[in-house]
Amino acid sequence: MKDIREDIAWAKINNDVLKSLESPRKLFWVIIICALGVFGIGVGCEVYQYSTGLGVANMDNPHVWGLYIASFIFWIGMSHSGTLLSAILHLMHADWRKPIYRFAEAMTTFSLMTAGLFVAVHLGRLWQLYYALPYPNERGIWPNFQSPLLWDAMAIFTYLSSSILFLYVGMIPDLAICRDNIHTGWRKKLYTLLSLGWEGTDRLWRNFRVTYLTIACFLIPLAVSVHSIVASDFAMSQQPGWHITSFPPYFVAGALYSGCAAIITLFIILRYVFKFEEYMTLSILKKTVRLTFAISMVWTYLNLIEYATVWYSHDEVAKAVLLQKATGPYAPFWWMMNFLGSIVPLVLAFKRFQTHIPVLLTVSLLLNVGMWLERWMIVAPTFSHGYYPWTWDHDQWPSLVQWGIVFGSFGWFTLLFMVFCKVFPSVSMYEVKEMVYHRSQATKKLEATGKMATAGKGAH
């Protein structure tokens, strides 16, 4: 099974991708309508919470974060696989990433934008958001530069803006193709503006290559630092269940895991909706699935290490929180998280399921449910079984408003993502051409060597 056919004409690659901008399958519009509906529910809940107060989210002391911060971590985590696919695999010269990295990068950008919403949403008093910004203000104070929360804000801003630039710079040659092939309307103006007059000269390509590589090199440590810092929000506190040394790598592995699972989901959807069967091939899907499986095992290992550390460290309070997770009111969710995160991915180890679309779609969605539960199970149980005895009988169940806003975020993400794929090429045309070109050259070389070997054999 080949990653891509080596005889695809370059003009056909342009045509197929450009066609996806104009005539997707009907499912595209169904997804857009559903996303709008779900997003609408979220907006309605947020408006209600904004005008009534944070109490309607059923949040109180000690449950001050609820689902909002769990979802924030989930969305931040989702963004990491875009960097994995586009930057890390780029440095490793894994060319199979080429047809799929663009949408993974877009996923990074939009999931970060979604995560950013939760910072504002969980404040409740949106109108005082500026209090969190690092500037000398009329109150005569500066933010606490030693707080992981401020590091978090800075890291996410850096990651978001760098990801947008990485996505944009990598897209310039494709925008020029769009400019050259779409002759009328707002699209023409947009592509002309964004392609910056790109003409594919040797000078442009030379500088482009160095710039793209440079940003990729910056993005890898940045992605690791972002989720390590998010982990520090928890690990640097004294709370039982959070004060764990392995939290940063555990968070990073979880992030890559949920992101890879999301890539599988979106791969399958885009492949069908935009008729990309020839580019998003089953062979590439198989490689993505194997990568996801490997990461799922890393996550499982780190998860078990976390339990073992708590158990054998004899930190009685942390141990009590762990027991509370396994046997208390959150137990069904905690067990489900472990089942979905560690047992379900074993399906991916079977060769016959590695290209089985319905199974993969189901499994990838389940993995992300598991990863979302993981974030919730990090936040909520510690709040309800902390150091203070008065918190112990205080289990919190999120209100419908909270659930509504969380669901709304999925609608918002889907909407942004699908609109992006409709307006911008979600398969990198020039990189697919490179892939086809280099692979066909390699095949030709191999054939020539084979012929020579055969000829040599005959001569002797």
Partner 1 sequence: MSKRHLLALFSNFDEAEAVVKELRKISLKGFDADKDMIVKSPIEHPEVEEFLGDKPVRVQWFTLGGALTGGLLAFFLISGAQGNFFAQLKGGKPVVPFPPNFVLTYEMFILGGVYISVLGFLICAGLPARRSPLYSAKVSEDQIGILVQADETASGTLRSIFTKHQALEIQEEAGK
Q: Which stretch binds partner 1 (CB under 8 A): 38-46, 50-58, 299-307, 433-441?
A: 433-441
Pick 154 or 343: Cβ nearer partner 1: 154
Structure tokens at 256: 């890559």
Pick 9 or 304: Cβ nearer partner 1: 9
Residue 430 interacts with partner 1 (CB under 8 A): yes or no: yes
Least Cβ distance, residue 180 to partner 1 (angstroms): 4
Which of 146, 185, 393, 456: binder of partner 1 (CB under 8 A)? 146
Pick 181 or 309: Cβ nearer partner 1: 181
Which of 222, 294, 317, 357: binder of partner 1 (CB under 8 A)? 222
Which DSSP string do the residues of 295-324 spell out, in sequence order?
A: HHHHHHHHHHHHHHHHHHHT-HHHHHHHHH
Tally the C-alpha atoms within 13 A of residue 450's C-alpha that lie toward its C-beta. 6
Give me the residue label for tokens 């062979």: 283
Pick 177 or 269: Cβ nearer partner 1: 177
Least Cβ distance, residue 252 to partner 1 (angstroms): 16
Least Cβ distance, residue 158 to partner 1 (angstroms): 4
Tally the C-alpha atoms within 13 A of residue 116's C-alpha that lie toward its C-beta. 18
Residue 218 interacts with partner 1 (CB under 8 A): yes or no: yes
CA angle 48, 52, 58 (to 5 degrees): 85
Residue 442 interacts with partner 1 (CB under 8 A): yes or no: no
Pick 103 or 198: Cβ nearer partner 1: 198
Give me the residue label for tokens 């020839």: 278
Nearest to 289 by CA among 260, 328, 310, 329: 260
Pick 86 or 399: Cβ nearer partner 1: 86
Residue 433 interacts with partner 1 (CB under 8 A): yes or no: yes
Number of residues that bind partner 1 (CB under 8 A): 54
Which of 2, 25, 189, 206: binder of partner 1 (CB under 8 A)? 206
Q: Which stretch binds partner 1 (CB under 8 A): 62-70, 72-80, 310-318, 430-438?
A: 430-438
Question: What are the angstrom distances between the C-alpha of 249 and each of 262, 340, 342, 368, 415?
Answer: 20, 20, 17, 18, 31
CB neighbour list of residue 366: distance below 8 Å, 6 or more residues apart: 340, 344
Is the distance from CB of 32 to CB of 294 less than 8 angstroms?
no
Is the distance from CB of 150 to CB of 143 less than 8 angstroms?
yes
Q: How many CB atoms lie under 10 A from the CB of residue 40?
A: 12
CB neighbour list of residue 96: distance below 8 Å, 6 or more residues apart: 3, 89, 283, 284, 287, 435
Kindly identify the residues of this chain, within the stretch 153-192, that bind partner 1 according to CB under 8 A. Answer: 154-155, 157-158, 161-162, 165-166, 169, 173, 176-177, 180-181
Task: Read off the DSSP letter of residue 87.
Answer: I
Q: Which stretch binds partner 1 (CB under 8 A): 50-58, 194-202, 317-325, 355-363?
A: 194-202
Residue 210 interacts with partner 1 (CB under 8 A): yes or no: yes
Least Cβ distance, residue 59 to partner 1 (angstroms): 29
Q: How far apart are the C-alpha atoms of 323 and 332, rounded to whole Å?
A: 13
Least Cβ distance, residue 17 to partner 1 (angstroms): 12
- Residues 40-79: x/- map of binding to partner 1 (CB under 8 A)? ----------------------------------------
Nearest to 85 by CA among 178, 170, 6, 206: 170
Q: Which stretch binds partner 1 (CB under 8 A): 195-203, 263-271, 302-310, 385-393?
A: 195-203
Task: Read off the DSSP letter of residue 131.
Answer: G
Q: How far apart are the C-alpha atoms of 26 and 421, rounded to whole Å?
A: 14
Pick 173 or 240: Cβ nearer partner 1: 173
Which of 229, 244, 268, 363: binder of partner 1 (CB under 8 A)? 229
CB neighbour list of residue 408: distance below 8 Å, 6 or more residues apart: 38, 39, 40, 41, 42, 43, 45, 46
Which of 25, 33, 53, 434: binder of partner 1 (CB under 8 A)? 434
Is the distance from CB of 115 to CB of 79 less than 8 angstroms?
yes
- Residues 114-143: x/- map of binding to partner 1 (CB under 8 A)? ----------------------x----xx-
CB neighbour list of residue 225: distance below 8 Å, 6 or more residues apart: 155
Question: Which residues of the chain form contacts with partner 1 (CB under 8 A)?
Answer: 9-11, 14, 136, 141-142, 145-146, 150-151, 154-155, 157-158, 161-162, 165-166, 169, 173, 176-177, 180-181, 196-211, 214-215, 218-219, 221-222, 225, 229, 430-431, 433-434, 437
